Amino acid sequence: MPSAAVILLTSGLNIGFIHIAPGSLVLPILIIAAVYVPYVGRPIRGIVLTLREREFIQAAIGSGASDWHILRKDILPNIAPTIIVFFPMMVAFSMLTESALSFLSIGVQPPNASWGTIINDGLQLLYTRPWVSIAPGLLIVITCAALNVLGDGARDAFDPKAKLRGGA
């Protein structure tokens, strides 16, 4: 994680009339969004640039359709499967990043709860009550695995080139 993000999380954000306190949940959300939005935006931009050259888009432009009409009726239905596939993966990555930030005490601050803060609190109890740290760790693993399976299933369901899997 860049050092600027750590400075934002520890000292807050003050830009003009915008004042966000260091312990605010808004800062980790903004940092995680700034890190992962380009990860999703680049492939989607590539698909949109490819679609722009397709004949049905050129025909819509030639027929005088507005940009909003082309975006809503032609481009969005073609990029929706990609967005649906990326969404579970981005949720899992964001959850892992937030848990790591909270474990390091620079994410969610008490009295708010996070799996990362629960694991960090349980480190002191590791020899007497290990489940305080093990349970949230297992829940993180199970949730990320479930989101990964959901993303794979969505990819299989929306992939137009996928072969039908059947017995024979």
Within its chain, how far is the Cα of 154 from the centroid?
A: 16
- 8-12, 24-28, 124-128: range with highest mean pLDDT: 124-128
Q: What is the pLDDT of residue 167?
A: 46
Angle (CA) 44 49 53, round 5°: 140
- The answer, yes or no, to whether residue 45 has pLDDT greater than 90, is yes
168: pLDDT confidence band, cut at 50, 70 and 90? Answer: very low
Q: What is the pLDDT of residue 29?
A: 82
Domain spans in the chain, listed from the N-terminal domain onward: 3-158
Higher pLDDT, 163 or 25: 25
Q: Which of 10, 2, 20, 154 is nearest to 91 (CA)?
A: 154
Q: Are the C-beta atoms of residues 125 and 132 closer than 8 Å to each other?
A: yes
What does the block give as tokens for 114?
Answer: 């996070």
Which residue intervals of 104-130 are DSSP H helices?
Answer: 115-122
Q: What is the pLDDT of residue 20?
A: 75
- The answer, yes or no, to whether residue 48 has pLDDT greater than 70, is yes
CB atoms within 10 A of CB 159: 11
Give the CB-side neighbour count of residue 136, counting CA atoms within 13 A. 20
> What global pTM score does this model have?
0.72
Residue indicated by tokens 């694991």: 119
Q: What mean pLDDT value characterizes the chain? A: 83
Provide DSSP, 71-103: IIIIIHHHHHHHHHHHHHHHHHHHHHHHHHHHH
Q: What is the pLDDT of residue 160?
A: 63
What does the block give as tokens for 111?
Answer: 């009295």
Helix/strand/coil for 12: coil
pLDDT digits (tens, 9 = 90+) for 102-157: 888 777 777 878 888 889 888 888 889 989 889 999 999 999 999 989 988 888 88
